[in-house]
Amino acid sequence: MAMICARHGIDLQSVQPMDFDLRNQELALCLARQDVPYPIDREKASAYFEAAKAGLPFDVGTLSDEAVDLGSFRNAQHYNRYTREEHLSWACLIAEQQKTKHRYACQEYLDGESIFEIGGSVIPDFYLLNARIYQQTSWQLATVSMIIPAELFFTCHSRRFFPVTTFMRAIEQDYLQEPDIGHDVAGHVATFTIPAVAHVMRNHGVARNLIYEERDRRLERATSEEARQCIQKRADELLLYAERIYWFTVEFGLVMQQGQVRAFGAGILSSPGETVFSVNSPKPTRLLIDPSLDTDLLRLATTDYLISEFQKTYFVMERFDLLETITPERIVATANLASKLPHFSWRDIAPGDRVLNVGESAISTNEKYLRLMSNQLCDDCLTRASIRNLRLIVHGLDPSIDLQTTWRGPIAAIPEGLIAWFRDEDASHRFLQATKPLSF
Ligand SMILES: [Fe+2]
């Protein structure tokens, strides 16, 4: 432990959670605050405090009139069960974040972190953290045991609950696919204080509800199992495209601030390595984006990505307030349109893109197809996007869509010979067989 502390500049004495009684004293003071945007109702505060004082583990916030049923995913934070190693792992993550975020995170994130007091050297107590979040944003925490289904995740969003896990990553682990408390709290929670981010997260929840409602209406009328499967598949597809908009903004978004690129996505900020990479490295492509434009929102929804490594393309918003233009209705409409159009891989630069810099892994649309045609190795994302596009083109695009105005129109650039070859080959099988992780 001493060596780990020395490596990260941590005072081991500080990795000591506050005593239970002191924590409750602080909670009582917090709950009584009236100088906040959302003061807590007295009766709700009283019941909340009694639960904390009784030593009940925190599970779902009870400070608003909203509730959410987490079913079998419901979990609880047993604060006293965290080990010294787990607190130290948190301290290491925060220490590494401090080295990068003051240089690369947007100012609003830094402000949010200090308001919520999540920059300390021990894992935050959710009773206290949840109360602080509610007072600033009207959002609350809902404790879950693992990654939850997207449907439940976004139902939580529509009611202003943010699902958080309770486990902490291993000491010095920089990136992990499954979100832990480091990702959820050190990454996401501070961004709630940015009104545009909190707003768009709720809009994503409401958009999912619109998709589920339409799906359920159609399921009620379905007369065969095949029809039911088809309806479910269609809804899943729309959810996937809506998810991409969320991914490239809430999770991996960058924003321009005073002429500089800065990070605000939680997926970036919960990884000190990706914080530097996303803003400072010449490797990824950075594209300027205005989500108030339908074509730009569609660019996000039609871009495929992988979750297993740092992103190859980041989208940089001109300003935060543009996020507020992403309404539930626009998310659903964009997902619908995306389902009918060819897609980009995370290495593509498309016609019409406003390029801040071309990353080392960028690839032209044609090169992507030609790589597949010549049986060269491609990553999963390239393969998926290429096969989808070729299939779509072979089967015929929806003639009612004007590609030049709704999409970015490079379809004509795909060589006829390639399309003919795709018709002849059992291409998808062959491509998938050949797919292996590839770095270039
Ligand atoms: Fe996340």
Q: C-alpha distances in angstroms, 318 versus 189, 253, 257, 287, 435? A: 22, 11, 8, 10, 36
Distance (angstroms) between ligand 1 centre and the Cα of 184 equals 6
Distance (angstroms) between ligand 1 centre and the Cα of 412 equals 37
Residues 375 and 254 in one domain: yes
**Residue 142 lies in domain:** 18-85+103-176
Q: What does pTM read for this prediction?
A: 0.87
179-194: per-residue pLDDT in tens?
788 888 888 888 888 8
Q: C-alpha distances in angstroms, 435 versus 367, 375, 376? A: 16, 9, 9
> How many helices and strands, by DSSP H and E, does the chain display?
19, 7
CATH of residue 69's domain is 1.10.800.10
Distance (angstroms) between ligand 1 centre and the Cα of 231 equals 28
d(CA 278, CA 123): 26
288-341: per-residue pLDDT in tens?
999 999 999 999 999 999 888 899 999 999 999 999 999 999 999 999 999 988
**Start-to-end CA span in the chain (Å):** 38
User: Per residue, what are the HEC states of 69-123?
Assistant: CCHHHECCECHHHCCHHHHHHHHHHHHHHHHHHHHHECHHHHHHHHHHCCCCCCC
Residue 360 lies in a domain: yes
Percent pLDDT > 70 in the chain is: 92
Residue 99 has a pLDDT of 85
Residue 426 has a pLDDT of 58
d(CA 127, CA 125): 6
Residues 167 and 207 in one domain: no
pLDDT band at 438 (very low <50, low <70, confident <90, very high): very low
Distance (angstroms) between ligand 1 centre and the Cα of 367 equals 32
Distance (angstroms) between ligand 1 centre and the Cα of 234 equals 24
Distance (angstroms) between ligand 1 centre and the Cα of 163 equals 10
Residues 64 and 208 in one domain: no
Distance (angstroms) between ligand 1 centre and the Cα of 267 equals 6
Distance (angstroms) between ligand 1 centre and the Cα of 94 equals 17
**How many domains, in total, are found in the chain?**
2
Distance (angstroms) between ligand 1 centre and the Cα of 46 equals 31
DSSP secondary structure string for all residues of 170-203? PTT----SS--HIIIIIIIGGGGGSHHHHHHHHH
Distance (angstroms) between ligand 1 centre and the Cα of 154 equals 12
Distance (angstroms) between ligand 1 centre and the Cα of 116 equals 18
Residues 224 and 327 in one domain: yes
Distance (angstroms) between ligand 1 centre and the Cα of 81 equals 24
Mean pLDDT, residues 232-246 taken together: 94
